[in-house]
Structure 1
Amino acid sequence: MNNSLKGQVALVTGGTKGIGKAIADTLSNAGAQVIITARTAPAENTNGQHFISSDFFQPESAEVIAKEILEKYGRIDIIINNAGANLSPGGGFSTLSDEDWNNDWQLNFMSVVRINKALLPTMIEQKSGVVINISTGAAKLPIWEMTMSYSSAKAALNAYSKALANEVAKHGIRVNVVSPGLVETPLMLEFIENMAKSSSVTAEEAYKSVMEKLNVPLGRMAEPEEVANLVGFLASPEAKYITGVNYSVDGGALPTI
């Protein structure tokens, strides 16, 4: 993929850590000018990536991001909607407040809708573009003890993505979904530590419990780069006839075909 994205402008939301950072670096290495967003700037930025501070709980953040990108670069070729997290407490339906539900839906669904709405008109004018929405295997395999509101928001994202792919294909725009399973990121490790504390077990025991619950055939978590490699391919010209598809990167955990 060396220089396969040269001259292209790419946005990666949540691009300073974990999967988002791996995706941003993959696109940079392929020659793209990458814009990354997060609440705080990264400690290091060795790839010349343009950072925009954003808070996706604020509805206006999408317009602010789009305005800065278009004023500086005049175009947008790739949108990677990666920002997201499982924000709610575990324990099932009775533990979830309206605020818990709203937070998960704002970050994991509405933030994507708003970014796309702000930037897709430019792609339509260009008659080209790629949108990749990062979902989760939990949208198809929800764990009621841990991911109820998060899974529902991501399931909505999957349906929205398919509808959007069908709508914008005539404009030369491709829309796909990548659904990671367990990925060894700082956020995942924090989740496991919190799970261990709430269950009064060690982090190792909590990790083992999660792995057993999801029954990952490959027997390990993914590295962020293993997700980023697929995203990089889907963003490239090599994938120019692929749209409307949801790809699982879960080590075989999804028990259906």
Structure 2
Amino acid sequence: MSSSDNGARGIAPESVPDGEFDGKRVLVTGGSRGIGAAISHYLRERGARVATVARSQPPQNPSLPDLVIGDLTQPAEAERVSHAVLDRLGGIDIVVHSAGAATLSDEGVLSMGEHDWGVALETNLMAAVRVDRELIPAMKSQGSGAVVHISSIQRRFALGASVPYATSKAALTAYSKALAVEVAPYGVRVNSIAPGIVETEMSQNFADSLDDGKAELMGLFGGVPLGDVAKTTEVAELVGFLVSDRCPSIIGAEYAIDGGTMRSV
């Protein structure tokens, strides 16, 4: 399950204008690798100025532009980072929350302790809540903005090995829906995306912990009808659409990218 920036599926890059996001000021949390890196690249290539947040200098991309070092799981740090982003970009138009973390246990949910729950809830839920609280007021004041929360189909299909992760993503989706209703009258659009299995370092680590790797991982979800997992570029394409001016009436929605995994209506 090696990462790929150029999946065979998805919209061709030339199908949308290169400068679609010219002048847009963007923050992507978790933007130094995986899905977040693909989103950052997509928006930056189309004209946006994209700031990213990381806990430390990412060794795989040491020259990442507009990188802000900070730990969003800490309330004071989330506030400091948010203000640093506003100062550096001169405002904010788009926020994409892609930061995510999970711990795994073969012994089930009752074996998971405070650390497991803390990692999931602080990284996957509270980091987004804190950053939104600091940045969305600026969007409301200017009468426009777009926010996307990266959730997971695990919010509806919790695996025993990662229940805290699934729970935190369910909470993130509920929060995203409530926030969308609250800020829509101010011209701020909030939506969420629920990926299934995506080719990232996190999914690779999960697959490596299983006897049959990727095939077993897909089997845990009842199989993936498409026959393969999603690419990070597919998520980036959808984020690009949701934060663009092409869908002004899409508010409070959730989109799944899962190769047909979730079969419920």
TM-score (norm 1): 0.92
Task: Tell me which residue corresponds to 2:197.
Answer: 182
Output the CA distance in 2 between the equivalents of 1:69 and 1:99. Answer: 29
- Aligned 8 A contact 2:25 2:91 in 1: yes
Task: Tell me which residue corresponds to 1:122.
Answer: 138
**Matched residue SS, 1:237:** coil
Task: State how many pairs are aligned.
Answer: 247
* 1:19 counterpart = 2:35: yes
**Matched residue SS, 2:134:** helix
Question: Which structure 1 segments of 5+ residues have no match?
Answer: none
Task: Tell me which residue corresponds to 1:234.
Answer: 242
Task: Tell me which residue corresponds to 1:7.
Answer: 23
Residue identity matched to 1:209: E
Task: Tell me which residue corresponds to 2:156.
Answer: 140
CA deviation after TM superposition for structure 1 residue 116, in Å = 0.2
Question: Which structure 2 segments of 5+ residues have no match?
Answer: 1-15
**Matched residue SS, 1:238:** coil
Task: Tell me which residue corresponds to 1:222.
Answer: 230
Which of 212, 220, 225 pairs up with 1:213? 220
Task: Tell me which residue corresponds to 2:61.
Answer: 44
CA deviation after TM superposition for structure 1 residue 62, in Å = 1.6
TM-score (norm 2): 0.89
Runs (4 or more) in structure 1 with deviation over 2 Å come to: 40-46, 87-91
| Aligned CA-pair RMSD | 1.4
1:204-256, Cα deviation, whole Å (9 max, x unpaired): x1322111222111011111101111011111111211110010000010111
Output the CA distance in 2 between the equivalents of 1:222 and 1:102. Answer: 28
Identity among equivalent pairs (%): 38
Output the CA distance in 1 between the equivalents of 2:135 and 2:86. Answer: 9
Output the CA distance in 2 between the equivalents of 1:71 and 1:107. Answer: 24
1:101-122, Cα deviation, whole Å (9 max, x unpaired): 1221111111110010010111
- Aligned 8 A contact 1:88 1:149 in 2: no
